[in-house]
Chain A
Amino acid sequence: MSTEQLIFERGAPGRRAATLPTLDIPEQPLDSLIPAAYLRAEPAPLPEVSEIEVVRHYTHLSQRNFGVDQGFYPLGSCTMKYNPKINEDMASLPGFARLHPLEHESMTQGALQLLYELEQYLAEISGMRRVTLQPAAGAHGEITGLMIIKAYHESRGEGHRNIVLIPDGAHGTNPASATLAGYTTVELRSDARGGVDVAHLEEVLAAHDGKIAALMMTNPNTLGLFDENIVEIARRVHEAGGQLYYDGANSNAILGITRAGDMGFDVVHFNLHKTCSTPHGGGGPGAGPVGVAEHLVPFLPGPLPAQTEDGYAWEDAGPLSIGRVRANCGNFLVLVRAYTYIRFNGPDGMRHVSESAVLNANYVMRALQADYDLPYDRECMHEFVFSANRQKKRGATALDIAKRLLDFGIHPPTIYFPLVVPEAMMIEPTETETRETLDTFIAVMRQIAQEAAERPELLLEAPHDTVVGRLDQTLAARKPDLRWHTQPVQTLA
């Protein structure tokens, strides 16, 4: 039996862990300070546990969780690279961690300098003019970028441009962000080589003449393929009056090799939790800075860090700015980690990251292409997509292969995405894996391919060795149980 009790089910009435400071001021009755009507009648029914119970409980939970530090994590599109330990130490320095966001500029010169320099590094890496560090995540960056584009069109009297083009392989956040920015989306088909179908693009541009606000795109795209027609695509969209938005989710492939700006993009967002090694934290926090070309600078959210004669300062946004997209300056401690990473790697190191990521992906792809269907057989960039079609015919799906990988202590690839490939398995090894790890993965994937052909039931029953087996998603969604409820009979007092 390996169910872990909830923290609420542990402890006993009267137990507690943390202590508060000794109250060193005169005590007056609470209701003499504020009217009783504002006072909470009953304390929140939080757990009553001792410190050792807190420690054991959350340590046990950590042991029921799998991270990059435990093993290989080739989760496509998520760039699960090693998270350097020095990044964590730097983000914990009191001068960064114990800093109030509204402190006077004179008291935060180090933080402002870091933000100012990081903005410059990111502008250089992406080929953009300026960068806002406010957005908290990739999707937050997307809507920020689209709002900048919207403000730009409005400033030119072209607020009627209401269509955002999105390739069929796009991340789900792209269309969702477009809708929230008040846009209508039109999907672009992929061509036989996995890129944007330029003929279809032309048709769509003609059909919506004068209405195109932007094209959102990743390059390399979600198939891990670099779109060779990017210059042509950029030219056509610009000629139609649209702006080009670069979804930076796949930037790990191109650092120092090419830049969104060099490809013709006007706006780009970063996922620093992918490209710049800041940890994913079990789902977050991330950081999604947005860079823009010169003509879009006036629309950036403010304030922006600036260097003045007296040191560093916050510079208010101008009248054309879209305004704030969140409180304060962004996920600062994530930005500290990204800054540390860039300074550690330097220009050559950053390029070496991408080259090695591309090599590792091609190495795995070529080693396994005899065992799994490869729908687009050409050089991949930092990731690639297999289809489990062949295995499915024998009865084991991409999901079953994913679950079988768990038995080998390997995190599965992203499955069933992108939507354009049936039974998709999207594999991104990243640059921080050793050749031995890649070879082990290759051997395991070959073994699973063989099992799928000979003993598919082994896959259907997987995983065999995890603390829980496959969970009933249907039950979870039909009868949502989203919180623990106090059992009235349970109190011992």
Chain B
Amino acid sequence: MSYVPNTAAEQQEMLRAVGVETIEDLLKPISPEVRLQRALALPKALPEPDLRRLMLRMSEENADLDHYASFLGAGSYEHIIPSVVPHLYKRSEFYTSYTPYQPEISQGMLQAIYEFQTMICQITGMDVANASMYDGSTAVVEAALLAVGPAGVGDVLVSRALDPQYRATLRTYAWARGFTYREIGLEDGATSLADLEAALTPQTKAVIIQQPNFFGVLEDGRAIERLTHKTSALYVVAITEPASLGVITAPGEYGADIVAGEGQSLGSPLGYGGPALGFFASRDQFVRRLPGRLVGKTVDDRGQEGYVLTLQTREQHIRRERATSNICTNQALLALATTIYLAALGKAGFRELGVQCLRKAHYAHDRIARIAGYRPLFTHPYFDEFAIATPLPPEQLNAALRERGIIGGYDLSADYPELGDAMLFAVTEARTREDIDALVEALEEIAGTANVN
């Protein structure tokens, strides 16, 4: 079994052409003392049909969302992906190509990325966007790295309502790079303005909030902007649920300097968390400090318009040890998927997406709030996710929901023990009224049964 096309006989002829007897003659520089003196201990090769059967079986050991109604969000969201999206981005002219360093034969990908950059600006209200980052968490890290600059020092203030996994990632990079990571506390599930004001100093390089925040709560973006810009700190808004941008005010409108986030919601499968799609947008003034690749429009030697990778002196392959980001490979194919998705939804569809998520989440919220023992944790406005205090430990609730074919909400108790038994429910346009009503019924029943016991 092999994807090597040349037969043993052909390889013998090729060896003769090279002027050696055996492949071993070509491997001489690898001395015996470093040679692996045995075969690799890997499972034996499988022909394609056997392999397909094995993989299918393994995949069926997982509870996929075709078989469960899911209310799990917390940074990754199930949205309906129109058929046209995968049909187009899975064309092999796209996915088997490399980074478009040869623009004459890469106009397709380059133009798609230019369209992606434009759409990210359109939905975030920012001036300029790059060609993608690994995921939302690392996009936020890149925002912090941009803010601390080449010296790599200073304070980065981070809302405690930023996704816990993003905060963990930021802490790792802060330690390695040498900048200071400080958390801002919460009040009623939103970033505490008083805490923020007290923490801002001339050493503050960035303030990072999430909108909607990890609890689904809508932060007062303008109030945080006013406080942040009393100093020279950059105002970074992280977005993990970009479907919100269909209906919620864009960060560009309330003065964000950088918008960094996760684009998985927009046309990419959940894929157990990856590949995801980091996006990064900023005001014009930071264009020559952006991390990652940028596509620009120019003209060719025949006077035609065309696209190229540009402003490359920012990047690691030119700036090397003076670079402020080391990203090379990015998530171009997912950026393409998002571009096609946003084109397919279009101006009206993208707004309708936001509206549907918002309405369905509020319907679910109000119904759950009416069940005895369940109580909304916060009073702030929210988008498509909300936190509920539960009468039972979330782990117990979720186990009972699973038996009913429902994937429940995210258990908040590990990341936010101060909230007690609490669960974060996400409701997108992919949930039907039937799904929501079944959830409500199940929550009621599980709590009721437990009370009887």
Contacts and interface: CB of A to CB of B under 8 A. Distances in A.
A and B touch in the complex (CB under 8 A): yes
A48 B274 contact: no
B246 interface: yes
Contacts of A137: 134, 327-330
A346 B326 CA distance: 34
B6 interface: yes
A78 to B, nearest CB: 6
A49 B269 contact: no
B310 A480 contact: yes
Contacts, number: 712
A147 B35 CA distance: 29
A181 to B, nearest CB: 5
Contacts of A111: 61-62, 272
5 contacts: A18-B82, A58-B112, A78-B98, A102-B76, A355-B27
Identify the interface centre among B6, B105, B298, B348: most chain A CB within 10 Å of its CB. Answer: B105
B137 to A, nearest CB: 4
B186 interface: no
Contacts of A397: none
A63 interface: yes
A63 B91 CA distance: 10
Interface in A269-325: 271, 273, 277, 279-286, 288, 301, 322-325
A432 B4 contact: yes
Nearest to B140: A327
Identify the interface centre among B13, B122, B123: most chain A CB within 10 Å of its CB. Answer: B122
A246 interface: no
A372 interface: no
B346 A58 contact: no
B62 A110 contact: yes
A443 interface: no
Given A279-B96, A347-B44, A470-B301, A332 B429 contact: no
A47 to B, nearest CB: 5
Please classify the interface of chain A as helix (H, G, I), strand (E, B), loop, or mixed, using the class held by over half of its residues.
loop
A124 interface: yes
B135 A326 contact: yes
Contacts of A93: 55-56, 59
A327 B36 contact: no
A108 B60 CA distance: 9
A254 B56 contact: no
A490 interface: no
Interface in A205-252: 225-226, 228, 230-231
Interface stretch (A257-265, A387-395, A445-453): A257-265
A92 to B, nearest CB: 8
B166 interface: yes
A38 B212 CA distance: 11
A106 interface: yes
B98 A86 contact: no
A18 B344 contact: yes
Contacts of A171: 317, 328
